[in-house]
A = this chain, B = another copy of it.
Amino acid sequence: MTPSDRAQLALLLEVAGEPKPGNVDRRRDVPGLRFEQFLAGAVGAREGLELAESGPVGDALETAVAGMADASGTNTQFGCLLLLTPLVRAACASDGDLAREDATAVVEATTVDDAAAFYRAFEHADVAVRDPPEGVDDLDVRRGADAVPAVRERGLALSDVMELSADRDANAREWVEGFPRVFRAAARVEAGDGPVADRAAEAFLALLAEAPDTLVATQHGEAVAEEVRERALDLQDADADRVREFAADLVDRGVNPGTTADLTAAALFVALERGVTVRA
Contacts and interface: CB of A to CB of B under 8 A. Distances in A.
A43 B197 contact: no
A13 B1 contact: no
B16 A39 contact: yes
B278 A73 contact: yes
Interface stretch (A28-36, A56-64, A104-112, A228-236): A28-36
A265 to B, nearest CB: 13
A9 interface: yes
Interface residues of A, number: 33
Contacts of A26: 26-27, 35
Given A9-B40, A26-B26, A71-B5, A35 B280 contact: no
Contacts of A46: 5, 8, 46
A124 B146 CA distance: 52
A1 B45 CA distance: 10
The complex is assembled from copies of this chain, and their number is: 2
A40 B36 CA distance: 16
Contacts of A219: none
A5 B50 CA distance: 13
A35 B197 contact: yes
A40 B40 CA distance: 15
A74 interface: yes
A13 B36 contact: yes
Given A44-B1, A71-B1, A278-B40, A12 B9 contact: no
Contacts of A40: 9, 12, 277-279
B71 A9 contact: yes
Given A43-B12, A71-B9, A34 B278 contact: yes
A133 interface: no
A189 to B, nearest CB: 13
Given A74-B280, A279-B72, A280-B73, A195 B9 contact: no
* Those 3 A-B pairs whose CB atoms lie nearest each other, nearest first: A73-B279, A12-B39, A40-B278
Interface of A: 1, 5, 8-9, 12-13, 16, 26-27, 32, 34-37, 39-40, 42-44, 46, 67, 70-74, 195-197, 277-280
